[in-house]
């Protein structure tokens, strides 16, 4: 059984890397090229009026703008500036929150519009709105954290082009190791036991089912929610199920997706970044679940 689980975990890890690493390489190269050509700095200069109004650093705006195109590239650039002592820990945390909205926005045309909304209809619109509301609130928190810095320098630090090879090797190694471990635990049924222990929650059975399915695959959860709606389930319970799935799976999802990237970029400090962002997301998700229950 263990040999089979190891084989499946290795296969899924290889498939994940084959799918994701080319995108990482292209994104990092594109941002490095943009830095060399001065495109990002020019964009920051274009946004100078907004910088003066909101009081955030130009580097934060550059990272924010880059995140609309590629969150991976944005955090790679942020990591390099952090390692070069051009930004401190608090600024990195503030920017990580600030980048929440563009990070979700990057999924709008790849996931929400072509899949979630067509499959779920009105429930899909509401779920998309909730995800964007959570991201917008987190970005507002990042804005407040950035503005609260004393003697904050609103000028952009001189940016160095990203080292494509160093970033890809470091990111690829950590992502592969973490993804393999989490996939192996999933194959061995560790997460099955965790999901089973959450069936006592006081929600409609359909909502709990959607949440449990989402624990393993978000797209399958969306399709499951659509089938329940077709069978007569009220739209709000479908949305609650999807949000609840995000709540009960936030730890494993962070470990499997966010943590590998942040560990590879920021080392141990990456754990703190992921933990703070995950806790705030969890609290906001619970808030929206309660809000929908009152509707």
Q: What is the pLDDT of residue 154?
A: 43
Q: What is the pLDDT of residue 273?
A: 93
Residue spans of the chain under pLDDT 50: 150-157
Q: What is the pLDDT of residue 150?
A: 47
**How distant is the alpha carbon of residue 99 from its chain centre?**
9
- Residue ranges of the domains in the chain? 2-151+162-293
Q: What is the pLDDT of residue 204?
A: 80
Q: How far apart are CA 213 and CA 209, in angstroms?
A: 6
Against a cut of 0.75, is the pTM above it?
no
Q: What is the pLDDT of residue 152?
A: 46
Handedness of CA 107, 130, 178, 184 (dihedral sign): negative
Contact 174, 264 (CB under 8 A): yes
Contact 108, 60 (CB under 8 A): no
Q: What is the pLDDT of residue 284?
A: 95
């Amino acid at each position: 059984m263990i040999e089979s689980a190891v084989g499946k975990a290795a296969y899924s890890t290889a498939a994940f890397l084959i799918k994701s690493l080319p995108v990482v390489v292209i994104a990092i190269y594109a941002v490095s090229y943009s830095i060399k050509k001065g495109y990002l700095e020019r964009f920051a200069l274009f946004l100078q009026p907004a910088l003066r109004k909101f009081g955030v650093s130009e580097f934060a705006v550059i990272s924010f703008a880059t995140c609309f195109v590629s969150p991976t590239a944005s955090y790679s650039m942020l990591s390099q500036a952090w390692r070069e002592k051009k930004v401190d820990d608090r600024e990195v945390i503030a920017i990580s929150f600030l980048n929440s909205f563009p990070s979700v926005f990057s999924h709008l045309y790849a996931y929400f519009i072509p899949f979630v909304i067509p499959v779920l209809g009105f429930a899909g619109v509401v779920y998309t709105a909730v995800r964007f509301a959570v991201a917008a609130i987190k970005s507002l928190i990042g804005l407040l954290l950035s503005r609260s810095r004393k003697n904050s320098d609103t000028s952009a630090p001189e940016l160095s082009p990203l080292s494509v090879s160093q970033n890809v090797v470091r990111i690829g190694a950590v992502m592969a190791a973490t993804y393999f471990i989490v996939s192996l635990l999933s194959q061995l049924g560790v997460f099955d036991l965790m999901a089973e222990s959450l069936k006592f929650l006081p929600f409609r059975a359909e909502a709990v089912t959607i949440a449990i399915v989402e624990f393993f695959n978000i797209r399958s959860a969306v399709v499951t929610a659509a089938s329940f709606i077709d069978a007569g389930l009220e739209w709000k319970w479908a949305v609650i199920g999807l949000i609840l799935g995000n709540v009960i799976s936030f730890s494993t999802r962070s470990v499997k997706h966010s943590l590998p990237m942040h560990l590879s970029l920021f080392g141990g400090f990456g754990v703190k970044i992921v933990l703070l962002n995950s806790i705030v997301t969890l609290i906001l998700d619970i808030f929206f679940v309660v809000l929908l229950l009152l509707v």
